[in-house]
Chain A
Amino acid sequence: MKKQSILLLLMAVMTVFLLPVNAFAAGDGTERSTFTVGFDAEFPPYGYQDTETGEYVGFDLSLAEEVCNRRGWTLVKQPIDWNSKDMELKTGAIDCIWNGFTMNGRENDYTWTTPYVDNSQVAVVKADSGITELGQLAGKVVAVQTDSSALAAFTGEDASEENIALADSFKELQQVGDYNSAFLNLQSGAVDAVCMDIGVANYEMEARGGGFIMLDEHISSEEYGVGFLLGNTELRDEVQVTLLEMLADGTFAQIAENWGLSDSVCLSAEDHVTDEVVKESTSFGEKLVSICGQLLKGVGASLAIFLLTLLFSLPLGLLIAFGRMSKFKPLSLLVKLYISIVRGTPLMLQLLVVFFGPYFLFGVSTSGNYRFYAVIIGFALNYAAYFAEIYRSGIQAVPIGQHEACEILGYSRPQKFFKIVFPQMLKNIIPSITNEVITLVKDTSLAFAISYTEMFTLAKQVAAAEATIMPLFIAGVFYYVFNFIVAMIMDKLEKKLNFFR
């Protein structure tokens, strides 16, 4: 048990290190010159990158721009990773989160302006799916964005019983990183419905030019506000006052119209600002146990990726190595091209190609189960290429004299390879293989690219949901311990092969 307590201590120390960071965020009273808005750059129409100009635009950013103009501030548009929004805010890297930011369920986590957009959660399905009401989603795969309002509506603490029952009826509630990938999933048949904010749904459906419909029933209603660091009422009040001015002179309505959001806006002069906050406190230990419990579900997935990848890529690599060394030129050139492409492009991209390729290249619809197969296929194909080159170097390092001795003694080619070359190759390549295997442990986290929920994805989700960085550190400890064991096993293997030189 001693090891466990050391682990706990280590994590406690890590967490303590992060706490003082808050101190930097406090205002220092001097005149403000810039105003930094944090937003998810993949959240049109509120904040996103204009594909033609490359600039960040959106309804929220237009509002912020106007506020800055009136206040004499310079607007800084800071795209952030949605999962890290709290860290960004706490460190003072951004002044506020202004990005279709749902207040419901987060009332006590931030200092808010009054709501300015009323946004309901809706479900979007393929037009030809035959689904017309929420009840028909039973047994289907439904996608939501990680840490989105739609997810909260189904599984959050304040979720209605109706919605919880609805979510339970789904075959699977699939979390995806962004709406683009959600719609790609929907199009390819990997998911049957995507739930999201109504404004986003309208925008995405129009931008994608048909083929989708929105269900008339709404999952929930919610409101957007501008979120400031808890307690930063001074800055909030300044922004609030300016927003109300804009409402009074019609600028607000104009901007909303420009972005096609006239139906959704709800800013009102009568709303009062919520100020007082009561934060529930849970003990450090309880939190740690709860987080570890949640992460544990992802550990199995990470282990599965790791083990299955090795199971397939190690033998496949040997075949590829043979192809690479083949005297038949077309084959060896083809294999060389394969290795060059696999090594020359990101694994993340390869995963996307394997997952979406069947639909977008060949028009074959894939089922939700394919997600896991795609992860394994992508990883195995990628690692096999690396292993192939390692095998090749190991085989070529076996002295020519060994081949000649086999020749003279009359060994057949398979006998020569398996009895004489392979064991010597193995000894040659163990250090390189160890390197690859350790990289694989860490690479399993790349499965998030196609929304496969392994441990690190889960850690990011939990970190976002609980507004703490602790899960990421626990994930780090997990990877370290995992690799420590891997290194130990490989070391044993290396020692075992030390019986000859």
Chain B
Amino acid sequence: MNLLEVKNLKKSFGDLEVLKDITMTVGEGEVVSVLGPSGSGKSTFLRCISMLETIDGGSMTYCDKPAVSEKDGKPVYVSKEELKEIKHSFGLVFQNFNLFPHYTVLKNITDAPINVLKRDKDEVMKEAQELLKKMGLSEKGDFYPYQLSGGQQQRVAIARALAMKPKMIFFDEPTSALDPELTAEILKVLKELAAEKMTMVIVTHEIDFARSVSSHVIFMDGGVILEQGKPQDVIDNPSNERTRAFLKKLEQ
């Protein structure tokens, strides 16, 4: 089953057409890496499928449930109630974490499952402890975000996303705000998640990481997908001229 199907997605800001015609799918257990130079539209693409932006054309389907479908050439979103349900099928991890600064680590993780999903408090707390343990943060439950390093904060953000039990998680340049050492921490966590068959879409600049964990790589530039396929094909043996130039620059 495909967890996400995007067809002919278009998005403009004013006169600027940021996404021109994006079509892609994410299958269950897949790890999709989205690569591309700055300004290529990859972050906007992630915000569109996260529904932080409304799209101007095309359709999006989550777990076989259509969220946006095209009618008379215009995208039509389903009702608010249906969207709410669909939104629970994915999580998002931000580049700059966006933890709630006035909540402890534990409350950051447990508040939404308890108050949004209305789940049993004790059960959620137990799961949160396990998630923290998995993230190597067992001792940090009562800390406030400002008392943690960037890497630790990002791991809390990942735990917060996982606590909602989404079918897939989107990552928006999860390591861009971190130094190389902390980046390694996060990549390790992502690798573990990939090994557990967590479905993920990751916008990243980490080529080596993308090569080793991805089942599928998308290379974007100028608002379109230039190339996509297995990492060995797209990264090690690119057919497109611009992909080659971009990868070459990164290697230098």
- Which residues of A are in contact with B by a Cβ distance under 8 Å? 399, 401-402, 404-405, 407-412, 415, 419-420, 423-424, 427, 499-501
Contacts and interface: CB of A to CB of B under 8 A. Distances in A.
B114 to A, nearest CB: 11
A424 B102 contact: yes
A402 B98 contact: yes
Contacts of B111: 419
Contact of B52 (A408, A415, A419): A408
Given A410-B87, A501-B146, A401 B98 contact: yes
Contacts of A399: 98
Contacts of A401: 94, 96, 98
Contacts of B44: none
B109 to A, nearest CB: 11
A402 B97 CA distance: 10
Given A500-B144, A500-B146, A501-B146, A407 B52 contact: yes
Contact of A500 (B52, B102, B160): B102
A415 B102 CA distance: 15
B49 to A, nearest CB: 12
Contacts of A408: 50, 52, 87, 91-92
The CB with the most chain B CB atoms within 10 A, among A408, A410, A411, A424, is that of: A408
B229 interface: no
Contacts of B79: none
8 shortest interchain CB distances as A-B pairs: A401-B98, A409-B112, A405-B98, A501-B146, A500-B102, A410-B116, A500-B101, A408-B92
Chain B binding surface SS class: loop
B88 interface: yes
Contact of B116 (A409, A423, A427, A499): A409
B121 to A, nearest CB: 16
Contacts of B146: 500-501
Given A423-B102, A499-B144, 13 more contacts: A401-B96, A401-B98, A402-B98, A402-B100, A405-B98, A409-B160, A409-B164, A410-B88, A410-B112, A410-B164, A411-B115, A500-B145, A501-B101
A423 to B, nearest CB: 5
B248 interface: no
Nearest to B87: A410
A405 B94 contact: yes
A420 B100 contact: yes
B71 interface: no
B116 A415 contact: yes
Interface residues on B, range: 20 to 34
Interface string B177-196: 00000000000000000000
Interface string B138-169: 00000011100000000000001000100000
A13 B74 CA distance: 81
Nearest to A424: B102
Given A408-B92, A409-B116, A415-B116, A424 B101 contact: yes
B126 interface: no
B84 interface: yes
A405 B100 contact: yes
A423 B111 CA distance: 15
A412 to B, nearest CB: 8
A86 B155 CA distance: 74
Interface string B82-122: 00100110011010101111100000000110011100000
Most buried by A among B99, B116, B117: B116
A501 B100 CA distance: 10
Nearest to A415: B115
A283 to B, nearest CB: 57
A411 B101 contact: no
B100 to A, nearest CB: 6
A211 B86 CA distance: 75
Nearest to B160: A409
Given A410-B112, A415-B116, A404 B52 contact: yes
B192 to A, nearest CB: 22
A493 to B, nearest CB: 14
Contacts of B100: 402, 405, 420
Nearest to B91: A408
Interface in B18-66: 50-52
A199 to B, nearest CB: 68
A215 B146 CA distance: 76
A336 to B, nearest CB: 26
B26 to A, nearest CB: 17
From B51, B94, B101, name the one whose CB has the most chain A CB atoms within 10 angstroms. Answer: B101
Contacts of B99: 405
B98 A404 contact: yes
A412 B111 CA distance: 13
| Chain B CB within 10 Å, residue with most, of A402, A407, A409 | A409
Contacts of A419: 111, 115
23 contacts: A401-B94, A402-B98, A404-B98, A405-B98, A407-B52, A408-B52, A408-B87, A408-B92, A410-B87, A410-B88, A410-B112, A410-B117, A410-B164, A411-B112, A419-B115, A420-B100, A423-B102, A424-B101, A499-B102, A500-B145, A500-B146, A501-B144, A501-B146
A23 B24 CA distance: 95
B126 to A, nearest CB: 20
A411 to B, nearest CB: 6
A30 B116 CA distance: 89
Nearest to A402: B98
A412 B146 CA distance: 26
A419 B102 CA distance: 10
Contacts of B116: 409-412, 415
Contacts of B98: 399, 401-402, 404-405
Nearest to B146: A501
Contacts of A411: 112, 115-116
Contacts of A404: 52, 94, 98
Contacts of A409: 112, 116, 160, 164
A405 B87 CA distance: 13
A367 B94 CA distance: 61
Contacts of A415: 115-116
Contacts of A427: 102
B61 to A, nearest CB: 19
Contacts of B96: 401
Contacts of B115: 411, 415, 419
A427 B116 CA distance: 25
A499 to B, nearest CB: 7
A266 to B, nearest CB: 77
